Amino acid sequence: MIETMQKNDSKQFNFKGKNFLQLSDFTTDEILYLLDVAVELKAMQKQGKPHPYLSGQVLGMIFDKSSTRTRVSFEVGMMQLGGQAIFLSSKDSQLGRGESISDTAKVLSRYVDALMIRTFTHESIEEFAHHAEIPVINGLTDLQHPTQVMADLLTILEHKGKLAGLKMCYIGDGYNNMAHSLLEGALKVGIDISIASPEGYMPNQTIVENAKQIAKETGAQITITHNPVEAIQNADVVVTDVWTSMGQEAETEKRLKAFEGFQVNGDLCKHAKSDFIFLHCLPAHRGEEVTADLIDGPHSVVFDEAENRLHAQKAILKEFLQK
């Protein structure tokens, strides 16, 4: 049974005019509210109930980085909400010919109702948001991946029935958009989080300091270590990501050596709780950051997690765009 997320008819949140760039921008109650909306929208979709909240609206999608889950989930999400989505790669737009971010943001603000951007530097999406007159949603940057973590939280909620009081561990590259957004998202909803990474691959220090402040506000615990066994002790949720992310291919051999001992496998997971669940944002490199028997085994919920990109993002789209 899923624990209610504190949403009631008397408590309303106004997301109009806001951007969705990182989870630290939102209160605990706002995140829980969006998760509640995601639960409702998922139930409506499973029951075949139409929910055209965004009829006539258009989402522009800018991709500097290719994607399967991000593109399909946002595009299908807009369709199910009654709207449409337009795909734009940087090479197919004037951005690829040197048009400034500010000019592109101003022009697209007159054509579409919101922008979803999947790009490299976080500064780029912040610049888009600064100049755009419509909501800007972070589909991924090198620093943050907040829409994925909303799907992760929804998946944890479905499988554990609650969020606050659980323990999550992330093992792998700490200087990674998933690690950063998990730090913010888990702590915001009261999940204790531990991160284990090798030297030289620890999380961004500014994000860590912000995370410590969130932890003070929510009472959740944060641990950052070089020891995977320490991190995974009694974990309810085990998470990893690829060791070599998009754009880092030249570092592959160096990273394979650096991350020896940080593979999520059966031996390591003996230190987690017996009913732990395993998350991975995909795509995965079986045999590197995680063994095939684990990601394909009974503890894995990675395909529920992938599906929940659709439902979590629909909640964001509905609340940020509905007129």
What CATH code is carried by the domain that includes residue 317? 3.40.50.1370
pLDDT at 96: 66
The tokens for 262 are: 């940080």
Catalytic residue among 22, 148, 263, 313: 148
Catalytic residue among 57, 64, 118, 311: 118
Query: Per-residue pLDDT averaged across 35-61, rounded?
Result: 98
- For the segment 295-307, what is each residue's pLDDT rounded down to a tens digit? 999 999 999 999 9
Alpha-carbon dihedral of residues 100, 102, 108, 109, nearest 10 degrees?
180
- List the domain range (segments joined by +) for residue 244: 146-305
Task: Judge whether residue 7 has pLDDT over 80.
Answer: no
The tokens for 239 are: 């998470």
Catalytic residue among 36, 144, 145, 263: 145
Domain identity same for 90 and 204: no
For the question of residue 281 being annotated catalytic, the response is yes
Domain identity same for 75 and 208: no
For the question of residue 309 being annotated catalytic, the response is yes
Domain identity same for 173 and 140: no
pLDDT at 92: 75
- For the segment 75-114, what is each residue's pLDDT rounded down to a tens digit? 999 999 999 999 998 777 777 678 999 999 999 999 999 9
**Is residue 45 assigned to a domain?**
yes
Model confidence at 179, pLDDT cuts 50, 70, 90, reads very high
Task: Judge whether residue 205 has pLDDT over 70.
Answer: yes
For the question of residue 145 being annotated catalytic, the response is yes
Phi, psi of 237 (to 5 degrees): -135, 130
**Is residue 81 assigned to a domain?**
yes
Domain identity same for 163 and 42: no
Domain identity same for 151 and 298: yes
For the question of residue 241 being annotated catalytic, the response is yes
**Is residue 21 assigned to a domain?**
no
Domain identity same for 297 and 158: yes
For the question of residue 169 being annotated catalytic, the response is no
Task: Judge whether residue 2 has pLDDT over 80.
Answer: no
Model confidence at 246, pLDDT cuts 50, 70, 90, reads confident
Catalytic residue among 173, 236, 241, 311: 241
Longest dimension (CA), the chain: 55
pTM of the model: 0.96
Sheet with strand 136-140: strands edge to edge: 84-89, 58-63, 114-118, 136-140
pLDDT at 9: 46
**Is residue 217 assigned to a domain?**
yes
Domain identity same for 234 and 87: no
- For the segment 259-295, what is each residue's pLDDT rounded down to a tens digit? 999 999 999 999 999 999 999 999 999 999 999 999 9
Mark the binding-site residues for carbamoyl phosphate, compressed into ranges: 67-70, 94, 118, 145-148, 281-282, 309
For the question of residue 122 being annotated catalytic, the response is no
